Chain A
Amino acid sequence: MKRYFTLFFIFIFSTNVVFSATFSTIKGTVKDAQTKEELIGASIWIKEQKTGTVTGLDGSFHLQLNQFPVTLVYSYIGYVSQEIIIENSKQTTLNILLMPNAQQLEGVVIRAESVRNTDIGARTIERNALNVMNVVSARSIEISPDMTVANVIQRMSGVVMERDNSGDGQYALLRGMDKRFNYTLVNGVKIPSPDNKNRFVPLDIFPSELLDRLEVTKALTADMEGDGIGGAINMVMKDAPSDLQVTANLSTSVNSQFFSRDFQTFNHSAIDRQSPDGKYGLGFPSDMSHFTTKNLRVTEKSSLPMGIAGGFSAGGRVFKDKLGIVVASSYSNAYRGNTSDVYGIVGSSGSQHITNRFFSTEQTRLGTHAKFDLRLNKNHKLMWYNAYMDFQNKQVRDAIGGSTQVRTSQTVRMRWNHQSILTSTLKGDHHFLNNKLCFNWSLAYGRAFNETPDNTTIRLNVMGDEVSAYATGVATRRWEENSDNDKAVYANLIYFTRIGAVNVEWSTGVVLRDKQRESLFYEYKFRPASSTPQLKGEDWNHFDEIKMDLETISLLDPLNYDASEKINASYIQSKITLSKLQMIAGLRMEHTRQGYDLRFPLGGDTKPIGFQEYYSWLPSFHTRYELDRNTNLRFSYVKAINRPSFFEIVPYMKEFEDYREVGNPELRHTVADNFDLRYEYFPRSSEQIMVGVFYKYIKDPIEYGMAETGRGANYMPDNLGNANNLGIEMDVTRYFRKFGVKANYTFTHSRIVQPKWLEIDNPNPYAEHSRIIIGKNQYRQLFGQAAHVANISLLYRDMENGWNGQIAFSYTSKRLVDISRWYNEDIWQDGFIRLDASIEKTFPKIRLTVFAKASNLLNTPMYLYLDPNNPKDERFDNYARRKGGRIERIEHYGVNILIGLKYKL
C-alpha cells in the first residue's frame, strides 16, 4: 500500500506545471470588494490570447503575457465581471477587487448566497461567530475524499469518529466526549433518530453532496438547545443559488476484502416484515408453519461485488428570484466487508479460543431533499425544508468459533435493518421596525422509523469437518421495530438597540418539543426438530433446510414500550458589541419530562411506568475580543446537560451471544460546566491558525460498562463518577497557491474516579474464603475518549488543468470502549492511523469531472485489548497480546475504492 501512496505523490508533483520564463509574468490576487476575502477559482481571461487562468487556493494567480496591451477579464460566479487593460510589461502585480452581483428586487438588495459554501465563507462564519465553532464548506467537502457527512466531519479539529462494524464512521465524538454528548441539527432543527440507542441521527446517512456546509459548535449559546456538552453539529443543506445549477454524479465502488473472499448475502425481500404475533395479534398460537424460511438461505457471490452510487441536484430561482427551489437526490449501494477475530480463553490444550467473524454488508442509501425559500419582501422570508432518507443495511455475519486447533461452533446471523427519516421544517424570518426587531420561528415535524424484521441467528455445532444442528437453541429470530414522532416549535425574538456607542441585541425565545416513541420486540427461539444431530451435507445443505420447531416465544418483553419526552425551554440573552469587544450573556431554562411505559408490566421490582422530570438552568457567557483585524481572542463559559436516551431508562433486558444488555431506570442526566479559551489568527480570509484550551467538569457522565449483578455481567449505561476534562486544540489552515494544508490536533486529558473490584488472596490464612474481592478506586479517562486526535490533509489544486487532489491522515490514540467493574480490566481500542485519498480531474468544456476516492488505504486493523495491567493477566500464557494487554478482538475493514463521474451545469 505504501507503494501506491508514493506513486500518488509523484503523480501530484509531476503534474505541477513548470512555467516558462520567456514571457512577461503578471501575478496578483482577486478579492471580494466588500469583505476583502480572497476568491478561489475566479477566472482571469486574456481576451487577445484566448487563454486564461484561475485563482488558486489562496486567491492568487500567475499569468504569462506575450503581447501588450492586453485585456484581462476577471469573472466569478455571483460577482460583477471586470475588464482591465494592461499596457506594458512593467506592471507585474495586480490585485483586483470584484463587486458582488447585487440584484435589484422591489427595492431590496439581495446578495447572492453562493458565497457561504466556499471555504472563505466558512472561515468568515467561524471568525465572526461569537461562540467557538468550526465550519466545513461544501467546496471542501466536494474535493475531499469523503462520501458522507461522517467522513467530512472527522477532518475537523477535535473530532473523532466512532465506526460501525463495516468501518464507516457513524457518530462524531467532539473533543473526546462520547457521541452522546453532542447533538445533530439539520438546518438548525433537531431531527429524530431511528437508532434505538442514540438520540441523534447517524451522520453517514447524509450524502455529502447535499451539504452546503457543516457547522460544529463547541460552546453553546443560550439560544441553542442545552444538551450538547461536547457541542452541536449543524448540517446546513444547500440553498437555492441565484443561477440555475444542476449537478449529477455517478460512481462505482469496491471493497478490497472481497478480492480474497466471497460476499455472502440472503434474500431479504422474502422476510416477513411482521412476526406472527405482530401480524395476527399478541398471543397468536404460532408454530413452525407460520415462519418462512425462504430468507434463511445464504448465497455466495464469488464475483467482486461492485457498488453503485449516483446523485443529482438542481436548484434555481423563479418568480423574479422570489422563490428558490433546490431539490437533491442521492442513491448509493455499497458493499462493505469486515473481518473480526474475537479472542477468548486459552483452553487446557494451550490453544486460544478465537471466533472469526466474517461480515458481508450491503448498504443502500437513498436521500431526497427539497428546499423552498420564499422571499416575500425585504422583511419577510419563509423557508420550507423536506427530507426523506432511507437507509438499508443487509448483513451476513458468519462466525466460526472454538480453539485455533479445534473449531467447535458456527454462528450465522442474517440481518436486514431498515431505517427511514422523514422531516419537514417550515421556517419564517420576519423583520420589523426597520430591522430593529426580528422574529423567527420554525415548525418542525419529524418521523423516524427503524425496523429489523426477522433478524435470524443460526447456531451450529462443528466437530472437524462435521457441521450439525442439534441440542437446544438452533435459531433465534427477532422482530424489532421502533418509530419516533417529533413535533417541535421554535420561536425567537430579537431586538436591537443602541445605548451610546454600544450595540445591544436582546433576544428571547422558546422551544417546545414533544416526542413519542413506540417500540416493539418479538423474539422466537427454535430447537432442532429431531433429537439426533442433523448433519450438513446429509440432512441439509442450506440453513432453510434445517428442520426446527418453535421452542419459546418472548411476548411480554420489556422492549415493548412507549417512550415520551417533553421539553419546554426558554431563554433570554443579550449581546453587547463595543468596538473590539463583543459579549453574549444568556440564561436558558430547560424543563425535561422523559418517561417510558412498558406495554406489558413485569413483576418483581420492575416499574411498569417511569419518568424523570427536572429543570435545568443553563447560564452561558461568551466574549470575543478583536486583538486586531485578523486576530480574535475568545472566552466562553457554558453549562450544558446530557439526557439519557429514550431507551436507556427503560428496564429492558436484551440477550446477545456474549453478554446481556440491560436498561437503567436509575440513570441520572449529566450536567457539565464548560470553559473555553481560544486564540484565532486569520492570516488571509481562507486561512486560519487557532489555539484553544478547554476545561469541563462533568457531573454524572453516562458511560457504558459491564455491571456485575450477582452471577452475570450486564452491559449497562451507568453514572460511574464525576469527571474532569481538560484539553488543548490547535487548528491550522494554510494555502500556498496550488497547495493547501489543513491540520488540527486535540489533546484531551480526562479523569474520573470509579470504585472498582479487585480479587486478591485472603490475607487471613485461617479464613474460610481463600480468595476475596476488595474495593479499589480506579482513576481512568472517560469512556470513548482519545487523548490525542490529529488530522492532516494535504490539498492540491491545479485549476488551469482541472486537477484536484487530497490526502488525509488521521490519528486517534487509544480510547476506552468498555468499562469493567474490575480493577484494571477495562477494554481499550488501540490508537490507529487512517489514510484516505482522492483525486479528480475536471474537463470544463464538457462540464465533467472524473474522480477517484479511496478510504482506509492502510487497511488499518482495529485492536481491542484488555488493560495491560490486568492483575489476572499475569497468569495467562499463550494469549495473543497487543501492547502487553490481552487482545479482545481485531477487526479489518479493507480498503474502499470509489471511481466516478460528476457533471455540473
Chain B
Amino acid sequence: MKKLLAMAALCAVVITGCKKDKDNLEDLAGLKLSNPKNMIKPAETLSLNVEFFPSNARDKSLTWLTSDASVATVTDGKITAGSKEGFAVVTATSVSNPTISATFTVAVSSTDMVIMSGNVEGTWAKGTTVLINDQIKVPAGKKLFVEEGVTIIVQNGPVGASQAHIEFFVDGSLYLQGTKENPILVTVPAPMRDPAANKYVGLWGGFVGSQIFEEMLFNYVTIEYTGAVTVAASQSAAAGIIEKVGNRTSAILTDNPKGKVVVMHSTIRYAESDAIYFMGCEAIVAHNIIHTVGATDNDGINTKAGVKIDIAYNLMFGVNSNGLKLNSKGQSIDRYQSIKCVYNNTIVNSGWRRTKNLKGGSIFIQQNASAYVFNNLLLNCKLVTKTPELDNPSPDAGACHSTFVGYNFYASGSQTWTGANPPGTPNIPTAFFGYTQYTDDDIWHDWSNYPAAFPKIDQTSLFAASAGAPDPNFVNFGFNTVPLGEDMFDPTWDFRVNSASSPIIAGVGDKKPRTQFTERFAPYFAVNGLRMNGVEYKSPLPKAQYGAHGVR
C-alpha cells in the first residue's frame, strides 16, 4: 500500500515536469502589413513586411487588392506607385480564411519629403516637408531649429517597434519659428486631416518636453490631431512623465521646472486631450487660438506645480471642460509652487461638452495654485470660475490663499443648452444660469458669509444681468446664436467689439476691467522676459479691457 502511494506521488511529480510538444503548424489567426515608409513618389515601389500570426501558420498564401490602381498597384506585397497623386489602401486577405485580412495605406505624392525619426538636431529649412515615421527626439544638449513654412507630417497610429503613437520628445531645445505669413504646420498625413471624423481621436502624441528639456519655442505654429493614448513603451511613459500609463498626451507637454517655453501666435486644435499641459516650466502663452479640444473631460491649458507662467490674450473656443485649469499638484522640495498671471483671455463655449461629471466649466483653480486671474472674458461658458476646497489650501486640495480672481466678465447670450448632461447632474439651461443661479459648495454667491481669510473670488467681476445682456457687441460673432457646446471654430469670427462703449471696454456700473497692473497684477515676464537662444521674449502687458481682443 505505502509503496503504491509513493509511486503515485512520484509519478505526479514526473508528469508535471513534462512539456508539451508545440512544433505543430497552427491555423492562421491574424495578419499585419507594415513599412516605416508610407509615402512614395510616382513610379516608385515599396515592399511591405507581412507578419503572420502565429508565425508557424499553416497557410500563408494571400490575395492582394488595391483600392485605386491609378494611384498604386500591388503584387505579392510589392506596391508600385502609378502616375496619379493620392492615396491607395492595399488589402491582403488570407486564401484559406478570407475573414482574416490587413490593410496598408500608401500615399503617392511628387512633393519632396524628408523622412525623419530617432535623434534629430540642426535645422529643418524653410518650406521643407518633413515626414516623421517613428519616435523622434531632440537629445539633451542638442538644438533643432524649424524654419518658417515647414510642414511636419507625423505618421498617425501606433508605429515601429514600440507600437506606441509618435511623440516629439525633447531633452534638448526645439525652436519652431514660423512667421505670420509663413506659419509652421504640424499635422498628420493628408487623408487623416478630417476634423469631422478625427477631431477627438488623438492621432499622434504631441510635443513632450522631458524632465531635462531646456527650451521650446512655438511661434506662429499650428499643431493638430494630438492627444494619443499612451502605452508603457511611449516615450512619455518610459521617462515617467505622464502620471498614468493610458493617459493621453497633449499638443505641448512639459516636465522641467527649469525649462523655458514660449507659445505665441499659434493655433492648437483638434486635440483629444488637453491642448497644453505644463508640469514644469517657465512659460509665456500669449496670443494663441486654442479650439476644438477635448473629448470627455479635457482642458485648454492645464498647469501643475513647477510652473511660472503668464497666460494672456488667448482665445479658447469650444474646450470640453475648462479653458484654464490652474493648480500646483505635485509640489515638492524641487518643484516649486505654481504661480500664474492670467489676464485678458477670452474663453468661449467652455464646459458644455464635458460628459464625465460637473467639474468646472470655464476656469478651475485648486491644489495650492497661486493664481492672479483678471480682465478675462468668459463668454457663454457653462460655469463661473470654480475654486473647490478653499478652506483647505494644499497640493492635494484647495487653492492657495494668495490666489485672486476678479475683474472678469461673465457674458451670456440667450442661447439655451439642449445637449445631454453628465449623468446625475442638473441641467444648466443658459450660461447666465450657470454663472449666477447654479450653486454648489465651491462657489460663494453670498459674499457676506465669505470668510475673510479666503482668496477673493470674483467679488469684483461683472456678471451677465440676464441671458442675452449685456451684449458685448462683437464685430462678427453670434453672441446669441452660436450654439452652446459648439466646438467647430469659424476663422471669420472677429471677437473685437464695435465701440468703446461696449461693456468689454467700459464695464457696467462699478464693475470695470482693472486698470492698475502692479504687484501681483504685473505679469512675470513683461519686464524681464524669457531669454531663449539669445532672444528675449516678453509677455504682453495687461490692458483695461475684458478679454483678448478689444475694440476694432
Residues of A within 8 A of B (CB): 244, 279-281, 283-286, 290, 314-316, 318, 325, 327, 329, 345, 347-350, 368-370, 372, 386, 388, 406, 408, 422, 424, 447, 461, 463-464, 466, 468, 470-473, 523, 525, 532-533, 551-559, 600, 602-606, 653, 655, 660, 662, 708-712, 714, 757, 759, 768-775, 821, 872, 875-876
Contacts and interface: CB of A to CB of B under 8 A. Distances in A.
Contacts of B391: 875
B395 interface: yes
Shortest Cβ-Cβ A-B pairs, 6 listed: A463-B424, A711-B330, A348-B441, A556-B233, A370-B9, A280-B53
Given A281-B55, A285-B32, A525-B246, A408 B240 contact: no
A770 B400 contact: yes
A464 B426 CA distance: 13
A219 B348 CA distance: 72
Given A556-B162, A768-B524, 9 more contacts: A284-B29, A314-B2, A327-B2, A386-B10, A463-B423, A525-B229, A604-B235, A770-B402, A772-B337
Given A551-B229, A552-B246, A875 B392 contact: yes
A187 to B, nearest CB: 15
B370 A605 contact: no
Given A770-B370, A771-B370, A554 B231 contact: yes
B161 interface: yes
Contact of A388 (B13, B280, B335): B13
11 contacts: A285-B32, A345-B396, A386-B9, A388-B13, A461-B423, A552-B230, A603-B239, A653-B232, A769-B339, A772-B337, A875-B394
Contacts of A464: 424
A532 B441 CA distance: 29
A385 to B, nearest CB: 11
B229 A771 contact: no
Interface string B323-364: 000001111110111010000000000000001110000000
B238 interface: yes
B240 A662 contact: yes
B280 A655 contact: no
B197 interface: no
Interface in B392-406: 392-397, 400-402
A406 B424 CA distance: 10
B5 A557 contact: no
A403 to B, nearest CB: 11
Nearest to A471: B296
B3 A757 contact: no
B12 A368 contact: yes
B423 A710 contact: no
A315 B243 contact: no
Interface in B192-236: 210-211, 229-233, 235
Contacts of A386: 9-10, 13
B279 interface: yes
A283 B330 contact: no
A606 B297 contact: no
Nearest to A714: B240
B13 A424 contact: yes
Given A284-B29, A771-B368, A772-B337, A471 B388 contact: no
Contacts of B397: 345
Interface string B463-480: 000000000000000000
B13 A602 contact: no
A315 B55 contact: no
A347 B388 CA distance: 8
Given A348-B440, A557-B233, A327 B9 contact: yes
A554 B238 CA distance: 12
Interface in B12-57: 12-13, 16-17, 29-32, 51, 53-55
A653 B234 CA distance: 12
B451 to A, nearest CB: 13
B31 A472 contact: no
A345 to B, nearest CB: 7
Contacts of B368: 771
A15 B404 CA distance: 78
Contacts of A554: 231-233, 245
B231 A555 contact: yes
B29 A712 contact: no
Interface string B98-121: 000010000000000000000000
B237 interface: yes
B280 A771 contact: no
B13 A769 contact: no
A551 B392 CA distance: 37
Given A552-B246, A660-B244, A821-B332, A466 B423 contact: yes
B172 interface: no
B29 A280 contact: yes
B528 interface: no
B32 A280 contact: no
A283 B238 contact: no
A408 B425 CA distance: 12
Contacts of A532: 420
Interface residues of B, number: 89
Contacts of B102: 285
A757 B330 CA distance: 12
A281 B22 CA distance: 14
Interface stretch (B74-82, B83-91, B300-308, B535-543): B300-308
Given A368-B12, A471-B356, A711-B330, A283 B163 contact: yes
Given A471-B355, A552-B229, A875-B392, A349 B441 contact: yes
Contacts of A872: 394, 396
A349 B443 CA distance: 11
Nearest to A422: B16
Contacts of B238: 558, 602-604, 606
Given A281-B54, A314-B2, A710-B255, A286 B296 contact: no
B51 A283 contact: yes
A850 B340 CA distance: 74
B442 interface: yes
A559 B239 CA distance: 15
A717 to B, nearest CB: 16
A146 to B, nearest CB: 25
Contact of B239 (A461, A553, A604): A604
B231 A711 contact: no
B452 interface: no
Contacts of B332: 708, 710, 757, 773, 821
Given A557-B232, A653-B232, A710-B306, A759 B54 contact: no
A272 to B, nearest CB: 13
A347 B396 CA distance: 12
A558 B163 contact: no
B389 interface: yes
B264 to A, nearest CB: 23
B339 A768 contact: yes
Given A315-B2, A556-B162, A710 B54 contact: no
Of B211, B246, B336, B394, the most chain A CB neighbours within 10 A belong to B246
Contacts of A369: 9
Given A283-B32, A533-B423, A710-B330, A655 B246 contact: yes
B135 interface: yes
B137 interface: yes
A752 to B, nearest CB: 19
A26 B255 CA distance: 86
Contacts of A551: 229
A904 to B, nearest CB: 15
A487 to B, nearest CB: 14
A653 B5 contact: no
Contacts of A471: 296-297, 355-356
A348 B6 CA distance: 68
A553 B396 CA distance: 31
B66 to A, nearest CB: 20
A590 to B, nearest CB: 30
B240 A653 contact: yes
A600 B279 contact: no
